[in-house]
């Protein structure tokens, strides 16, 4: 379903005529905040990668299970979610604040459409805090500065980069960006990350990647080893880097997986 432009969705800085990652992802998830160009593009991607919608749903459930673990057993009370996406219930703050109402959450995205919907992200608990920062992940200094208005970096923070690093190229300095962000975090902080796989068994993803490039969006699949490098300085929690449905399915969120291969590496690491 195409979005009815509302609440500024049609505002000048939002180009609705070409597909955009946040809106295509919304289409994959069955949301309502996308435009015909996004739906057409998503349809073409699904023709090349029939797992795209399945993978998006499992990626979202991975976020929920990781957040449950962090707000629960790990006792984390601060969250920095970069590349947060168009709000999709339940959003990260809802999951965290259901467990710990005092949790403080900062969302970051560079898509102005996400800003337009930020109200949906900001309806947190009175006890905690939720904020939205429009910024580009390639500017970690700005993100850290703005996030510090809400988060106390002397205490542990869960940094989420879920299905985002594949939009950061090596020329952007993807690994250096993540390292800079982690460097600002206190010991006991966590990194939650999922990234498009570039491993041999998911080579079929290449055609979809080419389609994204044609659509004006650069996607960078990465091998397991390249993805694991994002966690430098962190100890990966069990079960390590796995497909999203295999990350602690026992936490009871999401459908049990079928045999479909989800071409994403997902993991949670604890900064030492």
Ligand X SMILES: C[S@@+](CC[C@H](N)C(=O)[O-])C[C@H]1O[C@@H](n2cnc3c(N)ncnc32)[C@H](O)[C@@H]1O
> Residue 247 has what DSSP assignment?
S
Of the ranges 21-29, 95-103, 146-154, 240-248, which one interacts with ligand X (CB under 6 A)?
Answer: 21-29
Q: List Cβ neighbours of 28 (8 Å cut-off, separation of 6 or more).
A: 42, 52, 53, 56, 57
Cα-based distances in Å from 107 to 18, 37, 80, 183, 188 = 24, 26, 6, 19, 20
Quick one: 166 or 271, whose CB is closer to ligand X? 166
Contact 112, 13 (CB under 8 A): yes
> To the nearest whole angstrom, how small is the minimum distance from the Cβ of residue 60 to ligand X?
5
How far is residue 91's CA from residue 125's CA, in Å, rounded to a whole number?
13
Residue choice 44, 53, 138, 248 for contact with ligand X (CB under 6 A): 138
Tell me which H or E stretch contains 115: helix 112-116
Binding mask 112-131 for ligand X (x = CB under 6 A): --x-----------------
Binding mask 195-234 for ligand X (x = CB under 6 A): ----------------------------------------
Binding residues for ligand X, total number by CB under 6 A: 20
Residue choice 136, 155, 233, 240 for contact with ligand X (CB under 6 A): 136
DSSP 28-93: HTT-S---HHHHHHHHHHHHH-TTHHHHHHHHHHHHHHHHHHHHTTT---EEEEES--S--SSPHH
Contact 110, 177 (CB under 8 A): no
Site for ligand X in 30-89 (CB under 6 A): 59-60, 63, 83-85
> To the nearest whole angstrom, how small is the minimum distance from the Cβ of residue 224 to ligand X?
19
Residue choice 3, 19, 25, 130 for contact with ligand X (CB under 6 A): 25
Quick one: 132 or 155, whose CB is closer to ligand X? 132
Quick one: 137 or 151, whose CB is closer to ligand X? 137
Name the site residues for ligand X (rule: CB under 6 A).
21-22, 25, 59-60, 63, 83-85, 109-111, 114, 136-138, 162-164, 167
């Amino acid at each position: 379903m195409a979005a009815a432009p509302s609440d500024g969705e049609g505002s000048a800085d939002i180009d609705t005529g070409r597909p955009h990652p946040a809106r295509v992802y919304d289409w994959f998830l069955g949301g309502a905040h996308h435009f015909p160009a996004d739906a057409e593009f998503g349809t073409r991607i699904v023709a090349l990668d029939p797992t795209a919608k399945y993978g998006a749903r499992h990626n979202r459930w991975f976020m929920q299970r990781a957040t449950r673990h962090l707000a629960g057993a790990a006792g984390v009370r601060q969250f920095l979610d970069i590349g947060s996406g168009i709000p999709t219930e339940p959003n990260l703050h809802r999951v965290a604040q259901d467990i710990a109402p005092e949790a403080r959450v900062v969302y970051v995205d560079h898509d102005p459409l996400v800003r337009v919907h930020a109200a949906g992200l900001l309806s947190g608990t009175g006890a905690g805090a939720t904020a939205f920062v429009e910024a580009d992940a390639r500017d970690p200094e700005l993100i850290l500065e703005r996030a510090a208005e809400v988060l106390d970096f002397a205490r542990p923070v869960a940094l989420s980069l879920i299905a985002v690093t594949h939009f950061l190229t090596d020329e952007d300095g993807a690994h250096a960006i993540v390292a800079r962000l982690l460097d600002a975090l206190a010991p006991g902080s966590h990194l939650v990350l999922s990234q498009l796989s570039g491993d041999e068994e998911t080579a079929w993803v290449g055609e979809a990647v080419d389609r994204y490039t044609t659509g004006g969006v650069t996607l960078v699949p990465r091998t397991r080893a390249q993805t694991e490098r994002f966690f430098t300085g962190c100890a990966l929690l069990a079960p390590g880097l796995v497909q999203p449905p295999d990350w602690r399915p026992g936490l009871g969120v999401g459908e049990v997986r079928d045999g479909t291969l989800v071409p994403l590496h997902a993991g949670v690491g604890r900064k030492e």
